[in-house]
Amino acid sequence: MSSAPSSSRPPGLDPAIAARLKRNPEGLFPAIAQQYDTGEVLMLAWMDDEALHRTLTTGRCTYYSRSRGEYWVKGETSGHAQYVKSVALDCDGDTVLVKVDQVGAACHTGDRTCFDAGPLPSAGPDA
């Protein structure tokens, strides 16, 4: 049976943290995973209050899968784990940055990051 995200605060999440969070209508907010020592952006996934609580208390990144409708711990089946080094909330309270020690690939495709597909063409000054 799958769990569903909830906009209500689970008992374990610090009320001060929960009060700062801004969630979408489904009760979710984006979480960016970044390699703690290199600054490499690894992936973006979704969390709700419970996923954040689990991430903060277990030291392993827990996300909410919108497609599967359930929580998942990064690396639980693949072995490509994310060990939490720090967690920060952005100035608006609508995005979490999780600095991790990534073991193996971060992307479900097997790439190191979800952004390994290459840059998009842009009309910036260096184009």
Q: Which amino acid is at 72?
A: W
95, exposed or middle or buried, with CB in 10 Å at 0-12, 13-18, 19+?
A: middle
pLDDT of res. 9: 44
pLDDT of res. 20: 96
**Is pLDDT at 106 greater than 90 in this prediction?**
yes
Q: pTM for this one? A: 0.85
Q: Which amino acid is at 18?
A: A
- Assigned token pair, 56: 């903060």
Q: How confident is the model at residue 11 (pLDDT cuts 50, 70, 90)?
A: low
Please report the beta strands in 1-127, taking only residues with DSSP state E, as ranges in sequence order: 29-35, 41-47, 62-65, 70-73, 82-89, 96-102
Give the tens place of pLDDT for each residue, 15-31: 999 999 999 999 999 99
pLDDT of res. 102: 98
- Assigned token pair, 71: 């929580």
- Assigned token pair, 40: 């490499």
21 closest CA partner among 87, 69, 75, 90: 90
Average pLDDT value for residue range 85-93: 97
Percent of the chain whose predicted confidence (pLDDT) is above 90: 78
pLDDT of res. 127: 58
Kindly tell me the sign of the dihedral angle through the C-alpha atoms of 52, 53, 54, 58: positive
pLDDT of res. 60: 97
Give the tens place of pLDDT for each residue, 91-100: 999 999 999 9
